[in-house]
């Protein structure tokens, strides 16, 4: 009975945080930070006139964000396809595809 209460408490915490319980293995703090960084890099590299840094900290941030200029066309196409899949997916299909691709990535890295 205590296990049930613990499990229900965890589910309630997840739901109150606004995260679908079936996505907790995907929407981790690390994945969220990685996704936010990629989004920021896209916005920065798409700006035709990025602002001039006003401090050393801003200059360092711009150096990190400008790494997006070095993305290969394959990487950029992969991001485009990932966004497209997310836009057209229904009922958790994108999460299933994420898990399958993650497994393929692990398999490919082990085989090499």
| Residue ranges of domains in the chain | 72-112
Which pLDDT score is estimated for 92?
A: 84
pLDDT digits (tens, 9 = 90+) for 36-50: 999 999 999 999 998
Which pLDDT score is estimated for 110?
A: 86
Q: For the chain, which ranges sit under pLDDT 50?
A: none
Which pLDDT score is estimated for 64?
A: 94
At 112, list the tokens. 């090499």
pLDDT digits (tens, 9 = 90+) for 57-69: 999 999 999 999 9
| pTM score, whole prediction | 0.70
Burial category of 38 from C-beta neighbours within 10 Å (exposed 0-12, middle 13-18, buried 19 and up) = middle
């Amino acid at each position: 009975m205590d296990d049930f209460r613990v499990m229900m408490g965890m589910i309630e915490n997840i739901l109150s945080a606004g995260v679908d319980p079936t996505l907790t293995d995907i929407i981790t703090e690390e994945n969220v930070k990685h996704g936010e960084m990629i989004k920021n890099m896209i916005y920065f590299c798409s700006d035709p006139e990025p602002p001039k840094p006003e401090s050393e900290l801003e200059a360092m941030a711009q150096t990190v964000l400008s790494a997006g200029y070095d993305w290969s066309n394959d990487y950029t196409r992969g991001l485009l396809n990932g966004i497209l899949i997310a836009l057209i997916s229904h009922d958790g299909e994108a999460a299933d595809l994420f898990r399958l691709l993650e497994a393929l990535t692990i398999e490919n890295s082990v085989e090499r």
